[in-house]
Amino acid sequence: MALHRLASITIGVPNVEQTAGYYAEFGLAREGSRFSTTDGGEQLHIVEARSRRLIELCIGADDSDDLDRVTAQLVKLGIIVQRDPARISAVEIHSGTRVVVEVMTRVSQDAEPGAPFNGPGRTERANQRAPAVLHGGPTRPRKLGHVVIGSPDFEASQRFFEQGVGFKVSDQVVGVAAFMRCSTDHHNLLIQPSPVAFLHHTSWQVGDVDEVGRGAKHMLEGHPERHTWGLGRHFLGSNFFWYLRDPAGNFSEYYSDMDAITDDQLWKPGTWEPSLDALYAWGPDVPPSMLEPDDLADLMAASHAGW
């Protein structure tokens, strides 16, 4: 796969400083309005906008031949492409997102030693407490995993990313969602139909399910209004999740244990009928705001007024 990572995103919000403070507390290393993960480097930039939205999405590619191929694919779709020696950019007009494909090195993640688990007929940890309950440090996201956006033209947006940029479809829920990847992660981008373009959520990888829970506990201390949905386990992607709401209204997700697709020939994409069973294997009931944003009317008004 010549595309190899979701490198970074730029999000627009009407309350930059408030939202920036939230993501610093979320565990990202802050320098002004730019934020880094421990493995992925600088992966988030927050700028001012009339309403919350995904402004830019940057994807890593191996070399200039990859840029040539993506350029040709986008031009074939009638998309205008800006080309520099080490990057190209084009606008996906339905979501309003500027998409950048840039030559960059691949991210290497060091494996952490697995925690010992006790279970029926299996004692890996005898005469000692679980390390997870003794861990007192903060949760630090390892990398940006995926973003989810709404598009008024779901099919056209999917065509741009799949046939133009070169994302691969991992799974689809008919008329509801397309799970697409530009790395070995099950999905780096999910597109869903919406009457207006908006950013649904960003998702950040942590070490394990204990870090998912520990990170959420920290974020909820003194801020119960941030809680949205979790703890649970998704069906498509298989990852553990916990969703929180940032001050601009975007959801941010801690996740761990995502499906990895290392051989395209061995993975069979599924096409699923719309149902909550396709959304999660277990967890609390899905809150209505996950299916339709509470601020949908405000987003539509801002869209009509122009970004």
Any domain includes 121:
no
Instruction: Return mean pLDDT, the chain.
Output: 95
Q: Containing H/E element for 69?
A: helix 64-76
pLDDT at 23 over 90: yes
Q: Tell how many helices (H) and how many strands (E) occur in the chain.
A: 7, 20
- Cα dist from 122 to 116, 208, 229, whole Å: 10, 20, 32
Which run of H or of E encompasses 177? strand 177-181
Above 60 in pLDDT, residue 119? yes
In a domain, 122, yes or no: no
CA distance 290 to 231: 14
Q: What percent of the chain is predicted at pLDDT more than 70?
A: 99
Q: Based on C-alpha coordinates, what's the Rg of the chain?
A: 19
What does pTM read for this prediction?
A: 0.96
Provide the 3-class DSSP secondary structure of residue 299: helix
Asked whether residue 125 is domain-assigned, the answer is no
Question: Residue 3's beta-bridge partner residues?
Answer: 61
Q: Which residue bears the tokens 């990057």?
A: 87
Per-residue model confidence as pLDDT tens digits over 243-267: 999 999 999 999 999 999 999 999 9
Q: How far apart are CA 236 and CA 187, in angstroms?
A: 9
For the domain that residue 25 is a member of, what is the CATH number?
3.10.180.10
Residue 260 lies in a domain: yes
Ramachandran angles phi, psi of 250, nearest 5°: -80, 150
Supply 283's token pair.
């967890």
Q: What is the pLDDT of residues 164-215, one digit of tens each?
A: 999 999 999 999 999 999 999 999 999 999 999 999 999 999 999 999 999 9
What are 59's strand-pairing partners?
A: 6, 101
pLDDT at 113 over 90: no
> Of 52, 40, 43, 42, which Cα lies nearest the Cα of 16?
52
For CA atoms 21, 149, 189, 174, the dihedral sign is: positive
Note whether residue 193 is domain-resident: yes
Residue 152 lies in a domain: yes
* Least confident stretch, 97-101, 136-140, 268-272: 136-140
Residue range(s) defining the domain that contains residue 98: 3-107+139-305
- Structural domain contains residue 18: yes
Q: With 90 as the cut, is the pLDDT of residue 111 above it? A: no
CA dist 301 and 150 (Å) reads: 16
User: What is the rounded CA–CA span in Å between residue 244 and residue 250?
Assistant: 8
* Residue 266, amino acid: L
- How many domains, in total, are found in the chain? 1
